[in-house]
Structure 1
Amino acid sequence: MTTARLIYLIAIPIFCNFTLMAQKENDKQPTFIIKTSKGTEIPDSVKVLYLNQNVSFLAKQASMFAQKIGNDFEIKLPIKDPLTRFSLQFFYKGNITSSNIYYTEPTDRLTITFYKPEGEKAQFSFLGKGSEKFVLRDLLDLELRKLYSKIGKFRKTNLSKKLALNQASKAEIVEYMDTVYSYISRNNTVSEHLLKSFRGKIDNKVLDFFKYEFVAGNGISLLTEPYFIVETAQSKKYVSDYYFSKRIDSLEHCYENHPLVKYSSLYVFNRSVNLFREQFMRNDGQDFSFKDRYMALKEIKSVDLRDRLIAEFFLTPVRLQNHIKDFGERDSCLKDALLLIKEPLLIVALRKELLFSPGSRVYEFSFQDSTGNYITLKDLKGKVFVIKFYGTGCAGCAEFCSQFNSDILPEFEKDSDFKVLSVSIDLSKKIWYNTIKSGRYTGKDDIHLTAGNESAHNPMFKYYNVNSIPFILLVDKNGKLIMKINNGMSSASIRKEIKIALGKSRLIENSK
């Protein structure tokens, strides 16, 4: 069995020492046994978080608790992908200690030992088959932290302050860029040496994966950042000219056909950011249309990477007013993407996005109120409203109602342009009436509605393929979706979107 060992400092608080021992199994899936070191506190439980179906942001985060055997814990990950991203969580009487994020292969049989010397930061070492990947990953991470530490100190210098205040001359801008460039170059050089030192110890395909996942693109945001700090057109040109003349092409296109690129997440993110930033700089700082962005993504030659970046472009939550100017253009691009993309999981996600995309027309609902009258989407024309579906006994529904009524509603309850529709899926009208009186799931001034005998099988639920409650939508005065509100979303972000919708409505009305 190949072994490797490394001990170094990390800034993660650890409550005790524990060892992750390799399980002697022949089946091809990562298998671990966790042991606590002698004389140290045993975790109450250990949990592993891992990505199932690795498709970037669409990857489903699965989790499982380790099986406790005496004072030990056993973990056997039920995955078969060539690389799987995962991390560990250790629970101690309400406290949680998390490990770094790693990638594991099906054949890994790993030993990780954590140390916590008195008065010092946590240390850990790796042993066992596949341990070299973990050693290298943390060495690369350590170099990256050094890079950002240097940049942080540099930002406190007078030169950086002059740049931030738009007082830097051309020579000073070039000096600033030279300094940042030198830091990035050194980081890349050291990282390349680290990668080379592991040749023969780690499969070359995995080494290339690590190069692009943990090294490529790390400095690009630092090198383009000044462009978005300076304000004058001339200063922006100095930064842009420097960037394109000294550009570190760390996101080489050759990697895009690499067999493991589909398991990348940091690379995909950096590739996307770099693509749009360069396009923005080439356009002299002028914004470009949604279609222009989409067409730039379509030009990527690697089908797998192209499809993932296009899907991420549509599925990443964006501000309705700031990002999309023409919803017809966006929908046209989305329909084109559905014809272009090959990955089934991405196609399913994009089809659903057509329904939940900001600006899409909300389903033409019709629900009965407590007096027997029907309330429809047309009745809400000219109003910004929240429509929420709930059921008696639903803890999440009660939780959202409490949050909404205490943290959000007070700011808008006297605004005649804002309404709240609470739709019950209870089959019993008696239960529905009692629930309204309790005030646990609704507000006193809500428009109380019922889905009637259809309950959770009502057409609106079928239209949106809803399989859980609470189900909540924020809708603008034209009956178009602003966003789907997820339980757990911050009150501040919800208030912000409601304010924007109400403010925009009034601006339009006042201009008529």
Structure 2
Amino acid sequence: MILFKILGMATMFFITGCSQTNKQTTLNNTNGEPVVISGSFKQIESARDSLRIYFGGIVSGNRKLQVLDTMIYSDSNGRFSFTSSKISENQRITIAFYRKRNSSGRYYNAFRDYLVSPGDTIKVQVDRRGDKATYDFSGSSNPFFELQCHLDFQANSQFDRFKEHYGHTLYNLEIHKRFGITQQWGDSILNHQLQYLKEFKPKLPSKMYATIKAEVIGDNYYKYRNYWSLKNSSLTDQDRKVLMAMVDDTFQSLIKENEVANSWKSVKYLSLLPIGKLILEHPNDRDFEFDKIYTKNFSALCDFWKNELDGRLQEMLFIFNLQNPKVTDTNGFEACLYTGYTLIKSPDLKKIMQQWYGRKVRGAQAYNFKLQDTLGNMVRLEDFKGKVVYLEVWFTGCGACRVLAKQVDQKVYPKFKDNKDMVFISISMDKNRNQWLKSVASEHYGLKEHVHLYTNGQGMKHPFIKYYGIQGGPTTMIIDKHGKMFSVTPPKIGKSKELIALLEEALAK
């Protein structure tokens, strides 16, 4: 039995959305062997601890991308157990421990996106009796799981040490020198980690070794080479020259790694690295900086992935970024969506594109919903054939839904209220019909002149909601006169003029 203490991992694990506790869905795989995670909680006071487990998928934790999401509770003796469906190749697992004391609770994200293999049996004792967590591993597959845990802890503790050592003193240096020192520190940590990992190379399957190596490099670069944080107004010509060389060197060093496409940390980093390059290439344009590119120039990122990469890595970058909630650049997103939809060829990724995104590309047949209005009449999308439909999905208590509704009602709707070829529809995910009717009557979520429809208490389980993978509100879309998708990401809050222009474009078709 190997004792491995993890100190200082008090990272908050913020959970969004709803899940069914104690209900395990299975991955579609009937061959191979399952992965078994078991263990117990050591504690002083009596409490029911639990684990949130994400298993499998392209990007762990994203339910759109074929991930099992389940909650496992410990029994009265603090024991817990999880058995996956059978798998025939390596999968990822995230284990987030939940500690409930009195009326409060907290997730601790201890093991995130670790690789496991068919037949792995891992046992872990979680000691929560103090303020710090101690994990005691055993089991047939423990060494490889513990290896990832060790690399994780080492990376995080050294990064904390770096911040303590330098504090804010780096900000007194020229920017390229600041990045040079940061990268030098990161490289020393990376070399040490790769040497430690190399000791396990004879024992690890070659693909797992290469993937873990790519994970270590991607995580290190994310911490010490964050070029996307650059600000054009602060850069000198010398900064640009030196930093551009550093960005290019970083890009080339990472993409040559085997299995980089199967490393979510490397894919995440390569999603951000081009922002730094675009900043340096556009010295007088703030619209390429991090806080603007997702709202104004998302297509520039997609062009980079399309032109500079190929194969599975290129496909993974499109899959990963098309589900980025930060993207509100309507034209950029839809151009990127179309590019990804036509470019991706790998069968597993193509299936995801067709299932989740193929339904959203411009020209795709829209879902012909059948929903109840406030009078109990059934309303179908086909009832509005010949009209452009602006549709908003919302729920009571959604603050952003109220803000958007107010903006649309005051600045957008008046432009089209007399146009017989235009209709505004709101669809509520409320589970309580009386609550929905009360919210409709308040006009906080849309004027009474709009068509108000109800998902009959099914909320996110309604077929229409599930068809588009809607995870919350406000979710909006525009459907053209022929019942086909025109825009799946219409401009939202603060973009009334852009929304008006897009609706006028749809009406002109």
TM-score when normalising by structure 2: 0.67
Report what 2:105 is aligned to: 95
User: How far is 1:298 from its partner?
Assistant: 5.8
Partner residue of 2:93? 85
* Deviation (angstroms), 1:173: 4.0
Cα distance in 2 for residues equivalent to 1:28 and 1:332: 38
User: SS of the residue aligned with 1:152?
Assistant: helix
Q: Deviations over 1:325-355 (max 9, x none)?
A: 595x546524532xx4222453443464254
Are 1:435 and 1:441, in contact at CA under 8 Å, matched by a contact in 2? Answer: no
467, 474, 477: which one aligns with 2:476: 474
1:131 lines up with 2:136 in the alignment: no
Q: Which among 2, 5, 13 is matched to residue 3 of structure 2?
A: 5
User: Could you tell me how far apart the structure 2 residues matched to 1:70 and 1:117 are?
Assistant: 16
* 2:403 pairs with one of 394, 405, 408: 408
How far the C-alpha of 1:191 sits from its partner, in A, is: 0.8
What corresponds to 1:73 in structure 2?
80
1:240 to 1:114, Cα distance in 2 relative to 1, 3 A: same
Q: How does 1:239-278 map to 2 (within 5 A)?
A: 239-243=242-246, 247=250, 250-256=253-259, 261-262=261-262, 264-275=263-274, 277-278=276-277
Q: Which residue of 2 aligns with 1:356?
A: 360
Instruction: Answer yes or no: is the 8 Å Cα contact 2:72–2:80 preserved in 1.
Output: yes
1:501 aligned residue: 496
Matched residue of 1:87: which SS?
strand
Q: Which runs of 5 or more residues in structure 2 are unaligned?
A: 13-31, 289-296, 415-423, 505-509
Give the conservation status (yes or no) of the 8 Å contact 2:358–2:364. yes
Q: What's 1:21 paired with?
A: none
The answer on whether the counterparts of 1:421 and 1:447 sit within 8 Å (CA) in structure 2 is no
SS at match of 1:240: helix
**Higher mean Cα deviation, 83-92 or 178-187?**
83-92
Instruction: Quote the Cα distance in structure 1 between the aligned partners of 2:436 and 2:272.
Output: 51
Counterpart position of 2:20: none
Q: Cα deviations across residues 4-58 of structure 1 (Å, max 9, x unaligned)?
A: 33234233399xxxxxxxxxxxx94222432344x73454253341233435654
C-alpha distance in 2, partners of 1:133/1:469?
A: 35
What amino acid sits opposite 2:118 in the alignment? P
Give 1:62's aligned residue: 68
Question: Rg: which structure is higher?
Answer: 1
2:177 corresponds to which residue? Answer: 175
Selected match of 1:311 from 289, 296, 319: 319
Specify the SS of the correspondent of 1:74: strand
CA distance in 1, matches of 2:469, 2:176: 56
1:333 correspondence with 2:339? yes
Q: RMSD across aligned C-alpha pairs, in angstroms?
A: 5.1
Percent identical residues: 12
Give, in whole Å, the separation in 1 of the partners of 2:139 and 2:52. 19
Residues 1:364 and 1:32: Cα distance change in structure 2 (over 3 Å) = closer
Cα 1:350–1:222 change in 2 (3 A) is farther
Letter of the 2:34 counterpart: Q
Sort the Cα spacing of 1:48 and 1:406 in 2 relative to 1 into closer, same or farther, 3 A.
Answer: closer
Aligned partner (choices 300, 306, 325) of residue 297 of structure 1: 306
| 1:279-317 Cα distance to aligned partner (Å, 9 max, x none) | 66467687688378346436535x332322233344434
Hey, what's the Cα distance between the residues in 1 that align with 2:488 and 2:413? 14
**Does 1:29 find its partner at 2:39?**
no
The structure 2 residue matched to 1:210, chosen from 194, 205, 212, is 212
| Partner secondary structure for residue 356 of structure 1 | coil
Instruction: Tell whether the 8 Å contact from 1:144 to 1:187 is kept in structure 2 after alignment.
Output: yes
Q: In the alignment, is the contact (CA less than 8 A) between 1:50 and 1:87 conserved in 2?
A: yes
How far apart, in 1, do the equivalents of 2:71 and 2:338 lie? 44
**1-side partners of 2:328 and 2:363: how far apart?**
8
Aligned pair count?
A: 441
> Equivalent residues in 2 for 1:113-124 (5 A)?
113-116=125-128, 118=130, 120-124=131-135
Deviations 1:445-480 (A, max 9, x none): 33364779x999xxxx77994699999643579995
Q: 1:236 to 1:179 in 2, by over 3 A?
A: closer
Q: Distance in 2 between matches of 1:311 and 1:290?
A: 14
Deviation, 1:180, is 1.3
In structure 2, distance between residues paired with 1:45 and 1:220? 32
In structure 2, the CA distance between the partners of 1:175 and 1:150, relative to structure 1 (3 Å rule), is: farther
Shift of 1:213: 1.1
Query: For residues 94 and 34 of structure 2, what CA distance do their matches in structure 1 show?
Result: 13
User: How far, CA to CA, are the matches of 2:407 and 2:301 in structure 1?
Assistant: 38
Matched residue SS, 2:3: coil
Distance in 1 separating the partners of 2:229 and 2:471? 45
Moved more, 151-160 or 180-189: 151-160
Rounded to whole Å, the distance in 2 between the matches of 1:239 and 1:401 is: 52
Query: Retained in 1: the 8 A contact 2:3–2:135?
Result: no
- In 2, Cα distance between equivalents of 1:304 and 1:61: 20
Counterpart of 1:59, as a letter, is L
Aligned counterpart in structure 1 of residue 50 of structure 2, from 24, 46, 66:
46
Equivalent position amino acid for 2:353 in 1: A
Compute the displacement of 1:503 (Å): 7.0
CA distance in 2, matches of 1:192, 1:498: 46
Aligned to 2:189: 187
In the TM superposition, structure 1's runs of 4+ consecutive aligned residues that sit over 6 Å from their partners are: 283-286, 358-375, 377-381, 461-464, 467-472, 476-479, 506-509
* 3-state secondary structure, aligned to 2:489: strand
Q: Is the 8 A contact 2:39 2:81 kept in 1?
A: yes
Letter in 1 for 2:2: A
Q: 8 Å contact 1:423–1:448 — kept in the other structure?
A: no
Q: Does the Cα contact within 8 Å between 1:82 and 1:105 map onto a contact in 2?
A: yes
Distance 1:424 1:63 in 2: 25
CA distance in 2, matches of 1:239, 1:441: 58
**Residue 154 of structure 2 corresponds to residue 143 of structure 1:** yes
Instruction: Give CA-to-partner distance per residue, 1:71-118, whole Å, 9 cap, x none.
Output: 233322224142322214335365244333233223322232333465
Deviation, structure 1 residue 204: 4.4
Cα distance, 1:152 vs structure 2 = 3.1
Alignment partner of 1:105 is 2:117: yes
1:247-305 superposed Cα distances (whole Å, 9 cap, x missing partner): 4855142414x7xx53x31122123333554466467687688378346436535x332
